[in-house]
Amino acid sequence: MTKFNESATGALVPATFSPAVLGKVWSTMADKIQGLDKAESEASTARNDGVQMVMDSMRAAQKTKMAVFLDGNAKTNQARRDIADMFAGFAADGLMEANTAKMYASSYWLCYEEGIAFNPMQRKIKAAEKAAAEADGVTVEKANAKITSIETLQSALIKSLAIARVLQHTTAGALLDLILEINPEFTEAK
């Protein structure tokens, strides 16, 4: 944060009250806002660490395969219901907004399934990745096409390469090699 004498407020020259009072008010506000930023950061860290503890505990208690454990929704799956209830409880207690709680619950399951640490923004990250893939013309629905010729094989491989690039997956190089084997003149669009 800037210092008072470097701020827009510090450049003011009030005629009806003391500039020293203005400096004191500005400093007090700036200190409290910085304190608020620190408190918000600490609260965010505490929340994320707490949710991670829940996730670690759930992973340790999981006795079935991932597909079975994650099957269903909050009405049909106890684990999903427990997490939905946890975040709904946080919202009911005023610890977060109801919409935020729903987004965090979705992010929780994306992180859980991927085996990564809790990231409350994971839902938005996944949505951005999906949008980027769709912008390239790659969708899950289109990926289910039947391969009936070398041209459709090449097209499917190019779509797979686009997905691998979006996900920054290590298979991109191998896919590129396959495409070049079919069409040595292939070049990636930038």
Q: Are 45 and 66 contained in the same domain?
A: no
Q: Are residues 56 and 6 in the same domain?
A: yes
Tokens of 82: 């427990």
Q: Kindly state the DSSP code that residue 158 receives in the 8-state scheme.
A: H
Q: How many residues does the chain have?
A: 190
66 and 108 belong to one structural domain: yes
On whether both 117 and 169 belong to a single domain, the answer is no
**Spatial distance between the Cα atoms of 104 and 171, rounded to a whole number of angstroms:** 30
What residue numbers bound the domain in which 149 lies?
136-182
- Statement to judge: residues 67 and 51 lie in one domain: no
Residue ranges in the chain modelled with pLDDT below 70: 1-7, 9-11, 135-148, 190
Q: Are residues 83 and 115 in the same domain?
A: yes
Please report whether residue 1 resides in a domain: yes
The structural domain count of the chain equals: 3
At 41-81, the pLDDT tens digits run 899 999 999 999 999 999 999 999 999 999 999 899 999 99
**How many whole angstroms separate alpha carbon 168 and alpha carbon 22?**
52
